[in-house]
């Protein structure tokens, strides 16, 4: 059963009745399906009746913000409501031969869009967890307060992090200025693991499911390596457009602590060992 506003939208825009729906797997938070219409046009519909009322609005906002010239492809947003978002069906094809170098250059182009402050127009979500995006001039303060400290306190309240773990996190936070180079606030996807890097119907790079904000570009690259790094050609091509500070991969654990804390909060203690390992490393 499709949400009533979706049926109304398809009818009002002359796509004709729905002829078939096909469920898609792989979603960690919501359910996805491809909608086939009599017109021949297909759509991607994501639904979830248990999420906050603004979650899909924030996703739509992120997709629209990330659609910069010469950046990665993103699906067009057609309609969204409290429990659904209707998107363009990118119909992913096999990646083209130069997919990874092209992706690297396109992501660097996206990251070259900068702001005067860190944050975003609204708070949004990283997975199902609220992501706080209060505008902040200082990148260290932004990452410390709205990324690490926020997730750490949430984990502590859930009984997932001990008081000693929190003390270690505070110590790491105080060391951020000595461990991470100064970087401008870059427009980033915010949750760019391999599952959110796909292709469009022509095999070109595309990205989905953002947690968009202006943050550290190195943090984005760190996320690409958290669950299996992208090929080396991606990073080489990225640096053709946007050179990075030396030894940037050595800083990945610092950035990925945010995502590991988030996974701890969403999925439970299976991620505690990785979190504690990073805390011990920088204590």
The residues carrying an active-site annotation are 191
Distances (CA, A) of 54 to 130, 137, 149, 189: 11, 26, 23, 18
In whole angstroms, what separates CA 200 from the centre of its chain?
Answer: 18
Tell the burial category of 168 from Cβ atoms under 10 Å away from its Cβ (0-12, 13-18, 19+).
buried
User: For residues 96 and 102, is the Cβ–Cβ distance under 8 A?
Assistant: yes
User: For residues 77 and 208, is the Cβ–Cβ distance under 8 A?
Assistant: no
CA 211, 217, 219, 223 torsion: positive or negative? positive
Q: How many helices (H) and strands (E) does the chain have?
A: 10, 11
List b or e across 13-38, with b for residues whose CB sees 16 or more CB atoms inside 10 angstroms: eebeebeeeeeeeeeeebebbebbbe
User: For residues 20 and 29, is the Cβ–Cβ distance under 8 A?
Assistant: no
The residues pairing with 207 across neighbouring beta strands, listed in sequence order, are: 197
User: Pairing between strand 84-88 and 197-199?
Assistant: unpaired
Direct distance between the N- and C-terminal alpha carbons of the chain, in angstroms, rounded to an integer: 52
User: For residues 35 and 74, is the Cβ–Cβ distance under 8 A?
Assistant: no
Distant-in-sequence, close-in-space partners of 249: CB < 8 Å, separation ≥ 6: 225
User: For residues 262 and 155, is the Cβ–Cβ distance under 8 A?
Assistant: no
């Amino acid at each position: 059963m499709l949400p009533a506003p979706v049926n109304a939208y398809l009818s009002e825009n002359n796509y004709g009745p729905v002829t078939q729906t096909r469920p898609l797997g792989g979603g960690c938070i919501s359910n996805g399906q491809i909608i086939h219409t009599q017109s021949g046009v297909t759509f991607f519909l994501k639904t979830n009746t248990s999420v906050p009322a603004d979650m899909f609005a924030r996703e739509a906002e992120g997709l629209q913000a990330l659609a910069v010239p010469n950046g990665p492809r993103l699906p067009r947003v057609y309609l969204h409501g409290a429990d659904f978002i209707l998107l363009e069906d990118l119909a992913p094809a096999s990646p083209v031969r130069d997919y990874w170098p092209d992706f690297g250059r396109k992501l660097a182009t996206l990251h070259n869009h900068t702001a005067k402050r860190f944050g975003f127009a609204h708070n949004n979500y990283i997975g199902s967890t609220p992501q706080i995006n209060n505008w902040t001039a200082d990148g260290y303060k932004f990452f410390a307060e709205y990324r690490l400290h926020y997730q750490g306190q949430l984990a502590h309240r859930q009984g997932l992090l001990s008081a000693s773990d929190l003390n270690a996190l505070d110590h790491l936070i105080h060391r951020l200025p000595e461990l991470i180079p100064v970087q401008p606030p870059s427009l980033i996807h915010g949750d760019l693991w391999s599952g959110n890097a796909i292709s469009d119907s022509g095999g070109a790079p595309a990205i989905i499911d953002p947690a968009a904000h202006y943050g550290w570009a190195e943090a984005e690259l760190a996320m690409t390596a958290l669950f299996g790094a992208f090929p080396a050609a991606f990073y080489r091509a990225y640096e053709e457009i946007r050179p990075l500070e030396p030894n940037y991969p050595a800083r990945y654990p610092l950035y990925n602590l945010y995502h590991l804390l988030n996974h701890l909060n969403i999925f439970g203690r299976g991620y505690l060992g990785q979190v504690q390992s990073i805390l011990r490393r920088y204590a």
